[in-house]
Amino acid sequence: MQPPVSAHGLTARVRTLLGLLALALLVPLAAVAGAAPAAAETLGCQPSPETGCLLGTLRAGETLAEVEISVAGPGGEQTATSGPDGRWSIEVTEEGEYTATIVEDTLPEGVTVEGPVTVNASLGQNNTVLFRLTGESDGSAVGGRSALIIQSAVSGLRLGLLLALAAVGLSLIYGTTGLSSFSHAEQVTLGGIVAFIMVNWWGLPFLAAAVLTVLFCGFTGYFQHAILWKPLRRKGLGLVQLMIVTIGLSLAMQYMFQVLVGAGTVRIIREAPTPISWGPVRLTDQSLWAMGIAIVVLTVVGFALLRTRLGRATRAVSDNPALAEASGIDVDKVVRLVWISATALAGLAGIMLALVLNGVKWDSGMQILLLLFAAVTLGGLGTAFGALAGAIIIGLVVELTPAFGLPGDLKYATALLILILLLMVRPQGLLGKAGRIG
């Protein structure tokens, strides 16, 4: 295991980290503050169980604004105009094949489009329409790339903060028990699904449902620890075997969600959120709330880890369980607490991800599982603050990938590639201690 760390080394690391975090928070905010506030614009289409969205981003070198797109299909004919970031979206209420055409007169000089595009639209999801644009715009479009980058950075920060909620727990579990828990992703999904059931089936008000959901998720952590992880640790089951137990649990939970709410996307709150526009940045009020709550909760967790007795005990167990036990720390109690708080945090992340990403699906957690692992590894396996830094970096990378002209489909792949590259040069992660790892 890792050698105990001196108080001095720790505070220095924490200070660097806080600096990094402050930077990550301040840069986009400064950019936002610098931009002039504009009138509130309507936010793009939001898919729901009854409606689907046709959308895309027009780009030929620069993003193309003010271009008209017309779409014809089973739901009739509709038109849309691309925004300053080149994005456009159209809501459809019928499934089927749609033909999308660009009104060529509205394209900037020197840009041509290759014929109409047909797309099979399904309800309850975003259906991306890809136009083949050739030529290069001279960049006179409004907003342009810098606006897109700022918007993406804010979305990235949002994703990063929500990932951090789940990643901190995953990292604490790894730190205190050595277990890479694959079912942590399903704990995230669980939050979204339970909140959906409470709000939509039982008619609870959202806030009450959210609090109950977090409590319930924390209870699942307590329960799992009591009937599964503690007895198995006592039994001396190897870590590889334990990891496979979490894979089995993850599989069982995923399909349990499908049995419960079906294989489609469900939304906790059906009303469209209120969009807020601030310069080039467009966010919903829900996103702002989610980011605020995440920051508050993460601060509380950080404070608890640094300043409270139990937090110190947790870090001690993370550093060296045998030594911690020898110095009178109740390791079992600490591990139980870690399981409870990790699953509760994951549940909270799940509720907010479901709000921000317009719904939750049986495999929503699975989608972000690797991002979580990437965040935890990037920051340094088993270090809670490392997970926080790692999550924010991963969130930014994921959302900024499309803004720098890479295909949007690759945004998760870029994050994983960065993880692999980092492991080659610094296998202990950003904040991990260089120890014996081979």
Binding site for other proteins (CB under 8 A): 1, 130, 178, 180, 232, 235-241, 243-245, 247-256, 258-259, 263, 366, 369-370, 373-374, 377, 381, 407, 409-410, 412-413, 416-417, 419-420, 423-424, 427, 437-438
Nearer to other proteins, 295 or 418 (CB): 418
69 SS3 class: strand
To other proteins, the closest distance from the beta carbon of 288 in angstroms equals: 30
| Residue partners of 419: CB distance under 8 A and separation at least 6 | 373, 374, 377, 378
Q: Is 139 left (phi over 0), alpha (psi -120 to 50) or beta?
A: left
Nearer to other proteins, 215 or 244 (CB): 244
Nearer to other proteins, 134 or 241 (CB): 241
343 SS3 class: helix
Token pair 């992660």: residue: 429
To other proteins, the closest distance from the beta carbon of 231 in angstroms equals: 9
Nearer to other proteins, 89 or 180 (CB): 180
Residue pair 209/198 in contact by the 8 Å Cβ criterion: yes
Nearer to other proteins, 30 or 239 (CB): 239
Strand partners, 120: 97
Nearer to other proteins, 181 or 287 (CB): 181
> Residue 391 is inside which H or E element, if any?
helix 384-403
Around Cβ 412, how many Cβ atoms within 10 Å?
17
Q: Is 282 left (phi over 0), alpha (psi -120 to 50) or beta?
A: beta
Phi/psi at 31 (nearest 5 deg)?
Answer: -60, -40
Nearer to other proteins, 123 or 281 (CB): 123
To other proteins, the closest distance from the beta carbon of 423 in angstroms equals: 6
Alpha carbons 106 and 89: distance in angstroms, whole number: 17
To other proteins, the closest distance from the beta carbon of 130 in angstroms equals: 6
To other proteins, the closest distance from the beta carbon of 155 in angstroms equals: 19
Pair of tokens at residue 103: 């009104």
DSSP secondary structure string for all residues of 230-286: HHHHHHT--HHHHHHHHHHHHHHHHHHHHHHH-SS-B-S--SPPPEEEETTEEEEHH
To other proteins, the closest distance from the beta carbon of 417 in angstroms equals: 6
Give me the count of residues in the chain.
438
To other proteins, the closest distance from the beta carbon of 129 in angstroms equals: 11
Radius of gyration of the chain (CA): 23
To other proteins, the closest distance from the beta carbon of 282 in angstroms equals: 25
Nearer to other proteins, 70 or 320 (CB): 320
